Amino acid sequence: MDETTLRDLAARAARAVGGHRRLVAAGLLAVAVAAGLHAVRPPAVPTVSVWAAARDLAGGEPLTARDVRSVALPLAAVPAGALRAQARVIGRLVAAPMRRGEPLTDVRLLEPALLGALSSGDPAGADLVAVPVRVADGATTALVRPGDVVDLLAVADPAGGGATTATALATGLRVLAVPAHDDSSGDSAGLVVVASTRAQATTLAQASSTTRLGIAIEHP
């Protein structure tokens, strides 16, 4: 083997070794960059899966599968009483209107047992729905208990003064629930959920947008 051939082999070996070293160096650089990115990446925030409204919901109707969805919320953002995704919510009644994306809490939902009991065995009871009603004087709702029979009234204050008048809108309604009043909201109104026919529910909804509603408890 002559000198020219030896020099050629030596040059090829040097180029091979040099290329290998460049490959190794590039690999080490990539590992270092990945390690640096991992070091500055913030840790994952712990989350909890809870039920939330999948769309805007009206009060008084049983929940269906299309009404709810599971969402993952950071622990700090989970409201008190939020219902975890493992909780049974299908078929329970919404006590008040809810916006899409709002988490479901224990005070937002009612059990349908009482409404079902009222409906069973009575053909007319099949038309019953649960209706949330805002009563102008929230203090009066503290006197009402589930199972009570009440009348709902339209309360009017005469513009020229004089005595306040009350007109019966629906009578003989069974109370399903009285959700707790939130004093921190500054709202003096109270909420009561009653079982009514669909026709009565329409009357109450129309009246609530134009007048104050009052409540009277019937004697058992």
* Residues 189, 183: Cα–Cα separation, whole Å: 10
> Under the phi-then-psi rule, with left for phi > 0, alpha for psi from -120 to 50, and beta for the rest, what region is 4?
alpha
Can you give the pLDDT at residue 68? 94
Give pLDDT, residue 70: 94
**What are the start-end ranges of the H helices in the chain?**
3-40, 113-119, 198-208
What pLDDT is attached to residue 2?
47
Residue 17: its pLDDT value, please?
47
Q: What is the pLDDT of residue 91?
A: 80
Q: What pLDDT score was predicted for residue 167?
A: 87
CB 139 within 8 A of CB 178: no
State the pTM of this model. Answer: 0.50
Q: Residue 113 has what pLDDT?
A: 56
Residue type at 130?
Answer: A
Q: Say what the pLDDT of residue 13 is.
A: 46
Mean pLDDT per 10-residue interval, the chain, length 220 residues: 48 50 52 57 82 85 88 90 89 80 84 60 63 84 84 78 78 83 62 87 87 82
Per the DSSP assignment, residues forming a β-bridge with 133 are 192
What is residue 161's predicted lDDT score, i.e. its pLDDT? 60
**Which residue type sits at 152?**
L
Tokens (6 digits) for 119: 């409906």
Please tell me the predicted confidence (pLDDT) of residue 183. 56
pLDDT of amino acid 196: 87
> Do residues 130 and 198 touch, judged by C-beta distance below 8 A?
no
